[in-house]
Amino acid sequence: MKINKDLVVEDITRRQFLNITKAVAITAAVGSFTVKARAEHVQPKLPYAMNALEPVISERTLSFHYGKHHSGYINKLNNQIIGTKYADMPLEKIILATAGNPQEQSIFNNAAQTWNHSFYWKSLTPNGGGEPSGTLKQKIESSFGSIEKCKEELSTAAGTQFGSGWAWLAIDSDQLKVVKTSNAGNPMTQGMKPLLTIDVWEHAYYLDYQNKRADYVKAILDKLLNWEFAAKNLSS
């Protein structure tokens, strides 16, 4: 068989070129990973499938909410803190360090929205709703009078939050409270520990419920609220 030397040379050269290109790409990828590894906050995986909360929250809503809104806050936060004193701080520390500081408002917003959404996904669960049990149940009864009263307060807080924000069940010293926060607010900045939350930004429900926020909140309370998550937070 006659070997065409030109072709062989050309082939080797092309292969070498491809290998070099690959090596450069790998170096670049490793390089960028190394740079980001110190500062990067990573979006946690959803604790259920994208369609697992249907029909209360549609796959379409969840894919935008998780894939665009939540990931957007995380990307912005990562970009904002590179090279700053916040680069190596845990998320909760960033939130507490920037809360109430007008100069750090944007970092606070993206950090808190990153935290709030990760917490919100866990505050929901397929086949949730119903009633809490054990210590959480006792604590709710001693703080609110009854489970029903606690749910009413959550529903009122979620319904009356003017504009974008969150409704929370939180513990303040030894007392459980329902609080609402606007925009990216989080009760941890007021010394409370969040137990669960409901996102009442329009992006959380508008595709499914349009302007009927009360219907979205009721459906969450009845069918998705993750009382076990709240109980775990109470005991930790």
Residues forming the site for Fe ion (CB under 5 A): 199, 201, 204
CB-nearer residue toward Fe ion: 86 or 121: 121
- What minimum distance in Å lies between the beta carbon of 207 and Fe ion? 12
Asked if 98 contacts 90 with a C-beta cutoff of 8 angstroms, the reply is: no
Q: What are residue 66's phi and psi, to 5 degrees?
A: -75, -45
- What minimum distance in Å lies between the beta carbon of 185 and Fe ion? 13
- What minimum distance in Å lies between the beta carbon of 153 and Fe ion? 21
Measured from each CB, the residue nearest to Fe ion is 199
CB-nearer residue toward Fe ion: 98 or 197: 197
Count of beta carbons in the 10 Å neighbourhood of residue 36: 12
**From residue 77, how far is each of 34, 63, 95, 140, 149 by CA, in Å?**
18, 20, 11, 35, 37
Asked if 185 contacts 166 with a C-beta cutoff of 8 angstroms, the reply is: yes
CB-nearer residue toward Fe ion: 189 or 206: 206
CB-nearer residue toward Fe ion: 14 or 68: 68
CB-nearer residue toward Fe ion: 204 or 220: 204
- What minimum distance in Å lies between the beta carbon of 198 and Fe ion? 10
- What minimum distance in Å lies between the beta carbon of 64 and Fe ion? 10
Count of beta carbons in the 10 Å neighbourhood of residue 190: 13
Q: 101, 100, 41: which is closest to 76 by C-alpha? A: 41
Residue identified by tokens 């680069």 is 87
Rg over CA atoms, the chain: 24
